[in-house]
Structure formats: C-alpha cells, structure tokens
A = this chain, B = another copy of it.
C-alpha cells in the first residue's frame, strides 16, 4: 500500500454552486434531512468545491412545481415525490408508489437491479431531467377516520382528504376525495367537513395532531407500500458536471436513501407508542375493503394502459417484477417475519 505524501497537482475540477428546490417543508424533517445530508456530503467529498443550496417548498418554487422548475432550468436540482406529477403522465407514479405496489425493499430492488431505474430514466429524460432515487418512507398508514369502517359499504360517501391515483381508487369505492394543504386538514376534520384524512405515518402524523379529532387510525396505506423520494437534476446541468461530481452526487443520494428508511423505522415506533397511549385506536382495514380497492386499482391500470403507451410499457415490466418478487418474499422473508411477530417479545 502506497500513500503518497501530499503533492501539489493541477486540478481542473470547477467550483460549482447549485440551487435545489424541495417539494417539502422543513417540518417534514425526515424528508428534508435527506437533502441536507446530500448537500453536506457532496461538499465534504469535494473539499467544498461543489455546494448545493437548499430551498424548502414554496421558498422559490411551489411544492408541486418542482419538476417543471428543474425541467426548465429555473433551479439546478429538485427533491420531490414523483407521484405528484401523475397529471402529466400516470407513469411517474412508478418512480414513487402506485396502489398495491412494491414494498420499500422491492422498490429498491426494482430500481437498483430490476430494470426500474432504466425505465424511469427514459421517462424523465423526455422531461429534461436526470432522476436519482433518494429515500423511502416504508409502508404508510391508511389514515385517520372519525368513524369505524366495518365493511367496504362504510366507505361509500366518506369525504376523505386523499389525492392522485389513490384518490381515483377510493373514488371507485364511493369515497369523495378532497384535496387540501396540511394547514387546512385539522380544522376540516374537527368540524366534520371531512370524515377522514391520509397523511404519512405515525411520526409525521403526530405533529399535525389528527388523533385529537379522529380516533381510528387505519392501516395499511395500500396506496403507498414503499413510496420512494427522488432527486431531479436538470439534464444539461448533469451533463456539464465532471464525472467525479456525478459519482459523488449519486452516492450521496444512495446514503440518504438508506438513512431515510432507517429514520422512519426508528421514529415511527416512538410516535406510534405515544399516539396509542394518547387514545388512537389502531384498526386494520377490513379484508373486503382491501379486496375491493385492489380490484378498483386493477381496473384503473387497464384504463391507464389503454390511454398511455408509456404506462402500458412500464406497467407490463413492473407487474412481472412484482409477481416474481412476491414469489420469493412469500417464502423465507414471510416465514421468518411471521414467526417473529407471532412470538411477541422475550419474557
């Protein structure tokens, strides 16, 4: 092993300062931490030459406009959840989460080894963007309900804050989907303007205090089994980046990818325990709700496939991948986890 003493060398690596616009507020700290660590580690790995300045949602770009801002070069980079852009093309949802989709580990398997990243890069390329996976929340909760759901019939007419493809699935079950920002949900739930709300999971939900106005806390959030967050880089800016910085940026995102899931897994337990102690009633969605929702989801996928060639192409590949993954997960992973869960804690 040879460690040469410090030698002055000419270096052609440029000093770069980029702007990153996030779709998230700083209060969603588990999400915001991801870009803080990417920025910090990119700086550390380049000896301070490559700096990324962070802007929370709304500071320079509105939350749902991050994709366009990166596409147009208004900002160099973005952090977002790609299912925000299903209005442009429902195919974007595969980069984040689709109902009855991959769990967190399967989503990573699809992106890193299952052909998913290539398919998503192709999609984003047509929007002038280079996308990098950067974090996952794990399966989210089904949300807070003012009344108990005993059967799928109880979903009919329910006014629920839920959007995107999940909102369309719920619509097929008779749920009336509502869109509203974080600040408006609590008062709407308190007054009964809405009957239910889905947000994220215990850690993020606790901050908004929903348990005080809707005591039934349902799971699982079958529309978000493993939602992945993504980093967007303007494609021209990406191409201009030295190879060194490209590698450094990709790997900083990989580290944040692991960190975010770990943070959620650790923080959700603590919050869940407090929520239950504070009166939240945990309830599993009845099986007939799950079955009906899955059927509605499949109908929707057929509709999208008929309408969007890109969706059809990705869905066909993704569907086979998902089936294969479950074949394997159903064996050793399922058997192990099921035994552990059945045993409770050590006496």
Interface residues of A (CB under 8 A from B): 1-19, 41, 44-47, 75-76, 100, 103-106, 108-109, 111-114, 138-142, 201-202, 219-222, 225, 237, 240, 242-244, 247-248, 250-252, 254-255, 257-259, 261-263, 265-270, 272-273, 282, 284-285, 287, 290-291, 294, 298, 319, 323-341, 343, 345-346
Which secondary structure dominates chain A's binding surface? helix
What are 10 A-B contacts with C-beta separation under 8 Å? A1-B18, A41-B251, A103-B336, A103-B337, A112-B263, A138-B333, A221-B332, A222-B339, A265-B325, A269-B328
A291 to B344, CA, bound (A): 12
Contact A244 B45 (CB under 8 A): yes
Contact A237 B17 (CB under 8 A): no
A18 to B251, CA, bound (A): 20
A222 to B341, CA, bound (A): 13
Residues of B within 8 A of A75 (CB): 1
Q: Which of B13, B247, B336 contacts A139 (CB 8 A)?
A: B336
Residues of B within 8 A of A262 (CB): 108-109, 111-114
Residues of B within 8 A of A298 (CB): 346
Q: Smallest distance from the beta carbon of A138 to chain B beta carbons, Å?
A: 7
Contact B113 A259 (CB under 8 A): yes
Q: Smallest distance from the beta carbon of A223 to chain B beta carbons, Å?
A: 10
Q: Smallest distance from the beta carbon of A293 to chain B beta carbons, Å?
A: 10
Q: Smallest distance from the beta carbon of A147 to chain B beta carbons, Å?
A: 20
Given contacts A112-B259, A262-B114, contact A333 B273 (CB under 8 A): no
Contact A7 B1 (CB under 8 A): no
Given contacts A2-B16, A9-B13, A337-B337, contact A44 B108 (CB under 8 A): no
A263 to B113, CA, bound (A): 6
Given contacts A45-B251, A108-B258, A269-B328, contact A340 B100 (CB under 8 A): yes
Q: Which of B244, B250, B251, B337 contacts A334 (CB 8 A)?
A: B337
Contact B46 A336 (CB under 8 A): no
Contact B41 A328 (CB under 8 A): no
Q: Smallest distance from the beta carbon of A29 to chain B beta carbons, Å?
A: 13
* Chain B, residue nearest A243 (CB): B44
Q: Smallest distance from the beta carbon of A246 to chain B beta carbons, Å?
A: 8
Q: Smallest distance from the beta carbon of A282 to chain B beta carbons, Å?
A: 7
Residues of B within 8 A of A19 (CB): 1
10 more CB-based (< 8 A) A-B contacts, given A41-B247, A138-B332? A3-B237, A5-B14, A7-B14, A7-B15, A11-B11, A106-B265, A142-B332, A220-B336, A282-B331, A294-B343
* Chain B, residue nearest A112 (CB): B262
Contact A265 B14 (CB under 8 A): no
A329 to B258, CA, bound (A): 17
Contact B12 A10 (CB under 8 A): no
